Amino acid sequence: MKKYAPLALVAIIVAIVVMSAGCTANTNQTGNQTGTAGKVQLAGSTSVQPHAENLAKAFMANNTGVQVLVQGGGSSSGITAVGEGTADIGMSSRNITASEMAKYPDLKPVSICVDGIAFIVHPSNSVSSLTTSQARDIFTGNITNWAQVGGKNAPINVVNREAGSGTRDGVVSLLLNGGNLTTGGVTQSSTGAVRSFVAGDPNSIGYISSAEVTSIVKAVSIDGVAPTFDNVANRSYKIQRDFLLITKGSPTGLAKSFLDYVLGSGGQALLKADGEVPISEAK
């Protein structure tokens, strides 16, 4: 039997590890509110998702016993999920379309913040401002050289997001009016990847959420309006969209508590810290 001792030891260790993995640590220290327990399921836009996750974490810290689960899938799938009842709250980075309204007539959207889409170029690029039609032509592939928009004689390297990205959908609907993005650009899979690529290529142009612009890239003005916090808040920067949380009918119960938190001072401050324009400060 001695030779089975190591094997038995390994089996016991594995069993302990597997069992302890099933135990989750309860890190909630104090619970000020509630006495309620339950689950709120959010689903939808990947652009809203990181903010929703931060809000969920803060909400759960204040309300022990409540679980707020956030998943992505895109604005369309989020609207479908809340319409079908598989999610309590749908997240969307675009407005509900007429056909979706017809299918699920009792959807109630609530704006939680305003997000601008900034077009970024390399800091050394002499172009700092574009008109809407110039931007549209660049991203549809009709303008291919920086000299055509006032820059130096160099080809324009377009950097796209992947199909399914909320930011990409925003550009297609708001700038291109549903048109075709050029197929000649490279595709990167995240905001960070787009930003790094543009920071490294002097001839590139890409698009990211205005909240994510850092000093390694330069955001261009569209029609003379820069994508600053104030310009997005007062709606003068046109390439922007409201982030919506959608419920089926008026919100009740835990979903209502969560929505109240998001629209209250705590949630709005969190969104502002993330760089978005909270709806309380928008026009």
Partner 1 sequence: MRESDVLSPEEQLSPKKPVSLNLSILTGARVRNIKERFIELFLLICAISSVLIIFLIIYFIFSQGLPFLAEVGPSFLTGSIWRPTDGFAAGTWGIFPIIIGSLLVTLGAIGIGTPLGVACAVFLAELAPPYMRRILTPSINALAGVPSVVYGFFGLIVIVPWIRDQFGGFGASVLACWIILAIMILPTVISISQDSIRAVPREYKEGSLALGATHWQTIRSVLLPAASSGIVASVILGMGRAIGETMAVLMVAGNTVRIPVSVTSPVSTLTAQIALEMAYASGAHREALFAMGIVLFVIIMILTGAANLALRRRI
93 vs 268, which CB is nearer to partner 1? Answer: 93
Q: Closer CB to partner 1, residue 123 or residue 179?
A: 179
Q: Which is nearer to partner 1, 77 or 257 (CB)?
A: 77
CA distances, 273 to each of 51, 113, 211, 215, 236 (Å): 10, 12, 10, 17, 21
Do residues 221 and 120 touch, judged by C-beta distance below 8 A? Answer: no
Smallest gap from Cβ 173 to partner 1, in A, equals 8
- Considering only residues 188 to 247 of the shown chain, the ones binding partner 1 according to CB under 8 A are 188-189, 196-197, 200-201, 204
Task: Give 45 or 228: the residue with its C-beta nearer to partner 1.
Answer: 45
> Considering just the CA atoms, what is the radius of gyration of the chain in Å?
23
Give the strand pairing for 157-161 and 186-188: parallel
Count of residues near partner 1 by CB under 8 A: 32
Confirm or reject binding of residue 134 to partner 1 (CB under 8 A).
Answer: no
Q: Residue 240: helix, strand or coil by DSSP?
A: strand
Maximum Cα–Cα distance for the chain, whole Å? 83
E strands of 1-73, at which residues?
38-44, 66-73
Stretch 15-34 residues interacting with partner 1 (CB under 8 A):
none
- Residue 79, token pair as written in the block: 């609207």
Q: Is 71 in the site for partner 1 (CB under 8 A)?
A: no
Please identify which residue in 109, 185, 227, 267 interacts with partner 1, judged by CB under 8 A.
185
Q: Can you list the alpha helix ranges (DSSP code H) found in 127-180?
A: 132-140, 166-174
Smallest separation (angstroms) from partner 1 to the CB of 92: 14
> Measured from the CB atom, is 66 or 158 closer to partner 1?
158
C-alpha span between 7 and 242 (Å, rounded): 59
Determine, following the binding rule CB under 8 A, whether residue 179 of this chain makes contact with partner 1.
yes
- Return the sign of the alpha-carbon dihedral for residues 270, 272, 275, 277: positive
- Can you name the residues that pair with 281 across neighbouring β-strands? none
Going residue by residue from 74 to 113, which x/- string records binding to partner 1, judged by CB under 8 A?
A: x-xx------------------------------------
Give 168 or 218: the residue with its C-beta nearer to partner 1: 168
Q: Pick the closer one to partner 1 by CB: 35 or 178.
A: 178
161 near 207, Cβ under 8 Å? yes
- Which residues contact partner 1 (rule: CB under 8 A)? 46, 72-74, 76-77, 155, 157, 162-165, 168-169, 172, 176, 178-181, 183-189, 196-197, 200-201, 204
